[in-house]
Structure formats: structure tokens, C-alpha cells
Amino acid sequence: MFIGEVDVLLMSLFKNRGQVIELDSPDDAFNQKGVFTLIVVNSELSSKEFLRSLARSYPTSPIVVSADGEQRKDGYIARYVRFDEVADSQISFEEKLARSDISVRLIREVHRDAKKVLILVHNQPDPDAIASAMALRTLLRRNRKTATIGYLGEKISRPENVAMVELMNIDLQVISHEDIKNFDSMALVDVQPSYFRGEITDIDTVIDHHPRTPECDAKFTEISSEEGATATIMTRFLRAAQIEISAKLSTALLYGIKTDTMILNRGADLDDLEAFTYLYNRADLGLLRKIESKTLYSEEIKCYGDALSKHWISDGIIFMNLGRIEKEYLISQLADMGMKVGGVEWSVAFGIISGSHLVMSVRNSGSVKSAGRLLFELFDEIGSAGGHRSYSRAVIPMSEVKQLIGKTSRKNIEQWIDRVFRTATAQNA
Ligand SMILES: [Mn+2]
């Protein structure tokens, strides 16, 4: 039932949903027969007395006031709705998808003539990178034969990545620098050219959610650090291209968003939430649970145990030294764990990988200085460093560490890292 003047567009939308009764005069509202699924009242007629009488006459029908600006007032029995705002948010979302459709056409154009496309991710492919690469292959309407998802690192070992690749039967390939020339075009996903330190050239597409770095030369780039995951960007592209996302791909993308944002808890924005909901309805949640259930190996817990028992906290920073290890991901997992400790503002986990590099993972509570900027300022000159506001990573050759601190004993390294971080976090804090 509509009472008073109502916007034509709004009226036509309601008419699509069922039978509508239009009433000009409020007096006519009280002698209608039937059960109304909704009563909409023009705000000009919405006096307190009128709404109360309406509610008495139709106790089971919800009442909505078509409001133009005013808020709900006390004692008024009705829900005030700005229908223009409801429509506006929907329209701007559709507009975003329509704009993304232009991007999709550009990406397809860039790779159109390539016989074989290489979709390259970073050297430690994580669920976000893997899922986004799969999504790009779908977006390009290609298959395993015409588009390879590859990376230059060593065989993946992080349990959740291994579980994802095995349980979902994903063809993720280790490739060499030599192999690259066998491809006709290349797309980087979840990573930017600078990551490869000039070793990778002739890049056609870059799609990433990390902060934009200089020297990002490609025919098509979509770099948007607002999104918490590249999977969010790819979900938008797939929707823009009106592709029905399969259960397998939805599961992969959902897992990518979940892991990169720590279940919407880190660096996530409304787009991530939107993509999350969209994918959640399409994903194979049973499969996802299976993938997510195995994230620790026995020998790893021993490593953690050792580092955790020897941790120390000073000035709100927790320090954890994993010592000499082979698996780099242990460092970032431990840094995440450090943030769970009460009173901790910063978490610093570090270890020496393959005896040659010191790797640090840093987390903060997000409300303090940017972790990415801090590491960049501290270590970019002697290694590679950077990342997001709340999480970042630095890799420094042991030869540089030796030059700086002399003997690279466990104690020396710990004292150096302790001093460097305490000084840096104290500045402009
Ligand atoms: Mn990512």
C-alpha cells in the first residue's frame, strides 16, 4: 500500500514485486481490506498520530516512510528509508563494474595474439596469488595449454599452499628464467616488476594490490592498494565480464581473500567484503574447510616452540628469533602469532634462511607508524624491504649484516635488531 505521492520509478519497482494499492488521501488508508506486505508513506503525511493509527489498523504490516533527508523521530512508528540513497549505492557499484569492463577488454586485447601466456606470481605463491592467476586465466578465456601459471621460486612448502594446490588440483608450475622466452606475453599477478629487481622485462600486464612501486612498466596495469587482496580485484573483473564464477574458482578466490586479509581483519575494505559475500555463496565451503584445516607440520611446531620460549618484549615490541631455518614462511607465521600477545604494539620475527639471508617479518596493530615504511627506511639500502601499513618484510644478505655488526652470532644479531627497532619505533611515535 502506498499512501501519498510516491516517485514513479520507485512505484514501478514495487509493482514488479506484486499488487500495489495507491492512495492519495490518508483517510482512505484505514478501510482497506487485505494483508499488506509493506505500507509506504510519503514523508509529508507521516505525522506521529497518523503512523500510530496505521500501525494499530495493520499491526502485522511493516511501515516505511519514504524519507527525503529527515531522520527517524522519537515516537514515530515507522522505518525511515532514503530510497534515493539505496539506489545510489547500487548504481555506483554497477558503474564500478562497468568501468572494470573497460579494463577487462584492455587486458584481453593485450594478450589477444599470444599463443602462450605466462601468468607469473611471486616466488612464494600464496592462495591470493594462485587464485588470482587462475582468475586471470579464466578472464582471458584460456586453459592450461594456452596459459601457464608459474613462479620462479622453489617448490612450495607452506602447508596451506600445498593443501590448496593438491586438493584443488591446480597446475602451478616452477619455471626458470630460461623458460620465460617460450611465452608470447606475460602477466604479473599479486606482484609488481620491481620485486624481480630488473630480472623480468617485457611485461604486458600487472595486477596487484600492494602499494605501487616505481618502474611499473606494462601495457596494462591495475594496481590498487585499497583492496586487501588481488583476488578482490579479480572477482570484480570476472563480474564485470559477466563470467559465471565456478565453485572451484570461487573457493580459491575466497581463500585468497581470507588469507591475505586474515579473514577481513587486516587491510580489508568494503570491496573485499563485497567480493567475500559474492564468492561465499558460490564456493565449495566443505573443500575450503578441508584446505584450511592443515596448517602446521610437526617439525614446525618445534621451531616455534624454541623461538617462542626465548622471545623477549621491550617497549611494546615482541622479538622472536627462529635462528637458522629453511622455510621462510615460518617467520611471517610467527610474526602473526606475536601480535596475539597482550600489550604488544609491534611484532618482529626473524631468522636466517639457507645461511645466506636474514629475513624479518614485522607486524603492528595498525594504529601506529606504517610497518612497510619503517622497514623500507631502515633496510632498503642494504636489502629489499617494504610492505603494507600493518605488515611488512625485509630480506638482507648476511654479508651486509656482517659488515654492519661484525660477528653474526645469535646474540649480536638479536642485540642489533632489538636496538634498531626500539629506536625506530620510538621516533615520531
Ligand atoms: Mn596478495
Q: What's the gap in Å between 153 CA and the centre of ligand 1?
A: 16
Residues 276 and 302 in one domain: no
The pLDDT tens digits of the residues spanning 223-266 come to: 998 999 999 999 999 999 999 999 999 999 999 999 999 888 88
Q: Of 18, 46, 81, which marks where a domain is finished?
A: 81
Q: What's the gap in Å between 192 CA and the centre of ligand 1?
A: 11
Residues 8 and 34 in one domain: yes
Q: What's the gap in Å between 262 CA and the centre of ligand 1?
A: 11
Q: What's the gap in Å between 314 CA and the centre of ligand 1?
A: 31
> How is residue 278 written as a grid cell?
559474492
Task: Tell me how many domains the chain contains.
Answer: 3
Mean of all residue pLDDT scores within the chain: 92
CB 339 within 8 A of CB 361: no
Q: What's the gap in Å between 268 CA and the centre of ligand 1?
A: 11
Q: What's the gap in Å between 129 CA and the centre of ligand 1?
A: 6
Partners of 165 in the β-ladder: none
Burial 32-49 (b: 16+ CB within 10 A, else e): eeeebeebbbbbebbeee
Q: Of 81, 116, 151, which marks where a domain is finished?
A: 81
Q: What is the pLDDT of residue 33?
A: 86
Q: Which residues, in sequence order, are CB contacts of 103 under 8 Å at separation 6+?
A: 220, 222, 237, 240
Residues 114 and 241 in one domain: yes
Residues 303 and 270 in one domain: no
Residues 326 and 269 in one domain: no
Residues 234 and 344 in one domain: no
Q: What's the gap in Å between 267 CA and the centre of ligand 1?
A: 11
The pLDDT tens digits of the residues spanning 84-128 come to: 888 898 999 999 999 999 999 999 999 999 999 999 999 989 999
Rounded percentage of the chain residues whose pLDDT exceeds 70: 98
Q: What's the gap in Å between 222 CA and the centre of ligand 1?
A: 13
Residues 276 and 337 in one domain: no
Determine the Cα–Cα distance for residues 292 and 258; give it in Å rounded to an integer.
10
Max distance between CA atoms of the chain, in angstroms, equals: 92
Q: What's the gap in Å between 230 CA and the centre of ligand 1?
A: 5
Is residue 247 assigned to a domain?
yes
Residues 217 and 170 in one domain: yes
Q: What's the gap in Å between 189 CA and the centre of ligand 1?
A: 9
Is residue 46 assigned to a domain?
yes
Q: What's the gap in Å between 260 CA and the centre of ligand 1?
A: 6
Q: What's the gap in Å between 193 CA and the centre of ligand 1?
A: 15
CB 21 within 8 A of CB 2: yes
**Range of the structural domain that residue 25 is part of:** 2-81
Residues 151 and 195 in one domain: yes
Q: What is the pLDDT of residue 72?
A: 67
Is residue 65 assigned to a domain?
yes
Residues 282 and 377 in one domain: no
Residues 128 and 39 in one domain: no
Q: What is the CA radius of gyration of the chain?
A: 28
Pairing of strands 357-364, 391-397: antiparallel
Q: Is the pLDDT of residue 368 over 90?
A: no
Q: What's the gap in Å between 125 CA and the centre of ligand 1?
A: 9
Partners of 294 in the β-ladder: none
Whole-structure pTM value: 0.77
Pairing of strands 312-314, 384-387: unpaired
The pLDDT tens digits of the residues spanning 375-413 come to: 999 998 999 888 888 889 999 999 999 999 999 999 999
Is residue 231 assigned to a domain?
yes
Q: What CATH number does the domain containing 350 carry?
A: 3.10.310.30
Q: Of 23, 47, 81, which marks where a domain is finished?
A: 81
The pLDDT tens digits of the residues spanning 3-61 come to: 988 888 888 888 998 899 999 988 999 988 888 999 999 988 888 899 999 999 999 99
Q: What is the pLDDT of residue 264?
A: 86
Q: What's the gap in Å between 308 CA and the centre of ligand 1?
A: 27
Q: Is the pLDDT of residue 70 over 70?
A: no
Q: Is the pLDDT of residue 193 over 90?
A: yes
Q: What is the pLDDT of residue 71?
A: 67
Residues 136 and 277 in one domain: yes
Q: Which residues, in sequence order, are CB contacts of 421 under 8 Å at separation 6+?
A: 317, 319, 346, 348, 362
Place of cell 492512495: 23
Q: What's the gap in Å between 128 CA and the centre of ligand 1?
A: 5
Torsion of CA 105, 110, 116, 120, to 10 degrees: -90
CB 392 within 8 A of CB 331: no
384: how many CB neighbours lie within 10 A of its CB? 17
Please state the separation of Cα 92 from the chain's center in Å. 20
Mean predicted confidence (pLDDT) in 74-80: 80
Partners of 221 in the β-ladder: 206
